[in-house]
Amino acid sequence: MSTTEQRKVIDSRGSFCPGPITDLFKAYRSAQLGDVIELLATDPAAKADVTAWTQKSGNELVGIVDEQGYARITVRVTKKR
Amino acid sequence: MTDEMKRVVIVGSGDGGTFTANLLASKLRKEIKGGLVSVQLVGEHLLHPFQPGNLDIAFKGAVPDKYVRAETDLIRKGVEFIKDPAVKIDFSARSVATKSGRTLPYDYLVIATGAVADPSKIQGLAEGALNFHTGGADSRRVWEALQSFEGGTIVVAIAGTPHKCPPSPNEAAFMLDEFFQKRGTRGKVKIRFLTPYPRPYPAEKVSHVVEPMFQKKGIDVVTFFNVDSVDPAKHKIYSLEGEAFDYDLLIAVPPHHGADVIVNSGIGDQDGYVPTDKGTMRVVGQEGAYCIGDATTIPVSKSGVVAHLQSVVVAHNIIAEMNRAKGLLEYNGRINCPMEVGNHKGIFVSATYTSPPVDQSPSTVKYYMKRSFAMIYWRALGGGLERVFDVFFGQTRFPATEKEEPEKTAVAPVASQGGKREA
């Protein structure tokens, strides 16, 4: 794992499917192994979509926290070609 | 030109740009004739394509010329068409510079520069894949490849989002199935659909229609496949997530970005799209400047229908800013993307900012409505079908009641870009 891990916050609040997952993928495309991406989303589908993606891809779902009016979904990039 | 003359410059002569110019010329006919208003349409091409026709060229063998008209035959009297691509937009100087060295000052600007499908953004994609998003000639190459395809695996991949015409990759898979069914070789052809989305179509209600049809037709779906690269020599496509699939023929939707003039002017986001208010269609923070269609950051479908509906809002708002109409209008996010699902059936992906797509069944009526649009497109560009569209689309715009004084609001910060949705 890199010692220069980056943490990036993606604000997709107000965006509906596929906005949040698309925003996450855009960040994933430019991320390095070990980087952490925090996705802020109001779309209720985002939790299930991101969870399904991490399960399939092998990336790590660090956690989902329900904040006031939105979810904070944190992913660590552990699998990337 | 008189001192009082208000100059409207429209950059980009695609669907949105041409239609906005024609609407303004229609509604401001007397003012243009009287020298009070000028409408300049700045474009790169003399020929204007009907882009949805690319699917027919690629998968039904239509001749590309069928879907092209001369731009000069499409513009109304009163519009000055300048075939000279814009190379720089300067908001502070309120001017547009063209490739030949002209400087076009404006009082009102409409950016309608579209999106560019660019296979070079993915390693190996330009060499390893065909596509139907970069014009009629490239679409024709898909058709030619199908003629000699005797059997094997055809992969249809979405190699970047957002892209023009969201239903088009699904339509490609459906049309491939139909092509080989008709030819009697479907049993020798495996069709595999690779999508970055969690389901075959991003909007769940639409996917409820598409997914069982894909299953029934034997179209294999791989979700969460973000294309990383293509190896043309090995005939392999790779995802960022580490998956890889072999192909005998790869048809891929290339990644898209904003137009060069937006990037070179430094007025776009990281992908070259222009930050735009989702209601008034004003460029965020810029007085007198509007943006429509594929060029905006608004995450609704990048499609001609959207550009068309936004054009109506922008033409009205410009006329209101000239104090020749009352009140500003706001676009309500209406999209209407027809999707052909094979065997003379179709659906419409319809939604607004506040109303997502609903459940529906494929129908023959919707298929023929989609087919008919290829015929009425040219007339629609002239503005001659607005009453019909108003009935069909219902309310697609509403008064911006909090912004009834355009002179006061023209310089005010515009609303957020929130309420985003992409179908």
Please enumerate in sequence order all residues whose Cβ is within 8 A of that of B409, keeping only pairs 6 or more positions apart, or say none.
B328, B403
Nearest-CA distance from A2 to chain B in Å? 18
The confidence score (pLDDT) of residue B220 equals 98
pLDDT in tens, B163-184: 999 999 999 999 999 999 999 9
CB count, 10 Å around CB of B15? 27
pLDDT of res. B120: 98
Nearest to B420 among A14, A28, A80 (CB): A14
Q: Is residue A36 part of a domain?
A: yes
What's the pLDDT at B401? 65
Q: Which residues contact B249 (CB under 8 A, 6 or more apart)?
A: B130, B145, B146, B149, B152, B153, B154, B155
Q: What confidence score (pLDDT) does residue B225 get?
A: 98
Strand, coil or helix: A67: strand
- Give the residue extent of every domain in chain B: 6-59+68-114+259-332+399-409, 117-256
Closest-CA distance, A28 to chain B, in angstroms, reads 9
Distance CA B31, CA B402 (A): 28
Radius of gyration of chain A (CA): 12
> Does any domain span residue A70?
yes
Residue A81 lies in a domain: no
The residue of chain B with its CA nearest to that of A58 is B241
Residue of A nearest to B416 (CA): A14
Q: Which residues of B touch A56 (CB under 8 A)?
A: 223-224, 241
Q: For position B395, what pLDDT does the model report?
A: 78
Q: What is the CATH number of the domain that holds A69?
A: 3.30.110.40
Q: Look at residue B404 in the predicted model and tell me its pLDDT.
A: 41
On chain B, the residues whose CB falls within 8 A of the CB of A29 are 226, 240
- Predicted pLDDT of residue B3: 60
Closest A-chain CA to B224:
A53
Q: How far is it, in rounded angstroms, from Cα B55 to Cα B57? A: 5
Residue A61: strand pairing partners: A75
Give me the pLDDT at residue B354, please.
84
Residues of A in contact with B421 (CB under 8 A): 15-17, 19
- What pLDDT was estimated at residue B411? 28
The C-alpha of A57 sits at a distance from chain B's nearest C-alpha, in angstroms, of: 5
State the smallest CA–CA distance between residue A44 and chain B in angstroms: 12
Asked whether residue A27 is domain-assigned, the answer is yes
Annotation says A14 is catalytic: no
A2 within some domain = no
Query: ipTM of the assembly?
Result: 0.92
Q: Is A16 near chain B, with CB under 8 Å? A: yes
Of residues B197, B226, B239, nearest to A18 (C-beta): B197
Edge-to-edge order in the sheet of strand A36-41:
A7-11, A36-41, A70-76, A60-67
C-alpha–C-alpha distance, residues B175 and B219, integer Å: 11
- To the nearest whole angstrom, how far is the Cα of A43 from the nearest Cα of chain B? 10
Q: Does any CB of chain B come closer than 8 Å to the CB of residue A45?
A: yes
Q: Check for a shared fold between B6-59+68-114+259-332+399-409 and B117-256.
A: yes
Instruction: Note down the domain range covering A36.
Output: 7-76
Whether B242 sits inside 8 A of A81 (CB atoms) is yes
Does A80 sit within 8 Å of B241, measured CB to CB?
Answer: yes
Q: A17 CB near a chain B CB, below 8 Å?
A: yes
Measured between CB atoms, which of A12, A45, A57 is closest to B224?
A: A57
Residues of B with CB under 8 A from a CB of A: 161-162, 196-198, 202-204, 223-224, 226, 228, 238-242, 299, 356, 416, 418-422
Q: B28 is written with which tokens?
A: 């401001």
Residue B236 C-alpha from the chain's centroid: 29
**A53 near B CB under 8 A:** yes
What CATH code is assigned to B6-59+68-114+259-332+399-409? Answer: 3.50.50.60
What residues of chain A lie within 8 A of the CB of B223, using their CB? 56
Integer distance in angstroms from the first to the last C-alpha of chain A? 14
Nearest CA of chain B to the CA of A15: how many Å?
4
Task: Give the residue ranges of chain B where pLDDT is below 50.
Answer: 403-422
Which residue of chain B comes nearest to A11, CA vs CA?
B418
Residue B1: the pLDDT is 54
Q: How many domains does chain A have?
A: 1
How confident is the model at residue B4, as a pLDDT? 81
3-state SS, residue A19: helix
- Taking alpha carbons only, the member of B18, B36, B14, B34 closest to residue B79 is B18
- Using CA coordinates, name the residue in chain B closest to A56: B224
Q: Which of B121, B225, B421 to mutate to test the interface with A (most CBs of A within 10 A)?
A: B421
CA dist., res. A35 & res. A27, Å (int):
10
Which position among A6, A17, A60, A80 bears the catalytic label? A17
- Measured between alpha carbons, how far is B174 from B168 in angstroms, rounded to an integer? 10
What are the C-alpha distances in Å from B299 to residues B119, B281, B288, B295? 21, 13, 22, 11
What are B356-361's contacts with CB under 8 Å, separation 24+?
B356/A16, B356/B203, B356/B205, B356/B421, B357/B203, B357/B205, B357/B206, B357/B423, B358/B205, B359/B205, B359/B208, B359/B209, B360/B205, B360/B209, B361/B209
B117-256: which CATH architecture?
A: 3-Layer(bba) Sandwich (3.50)
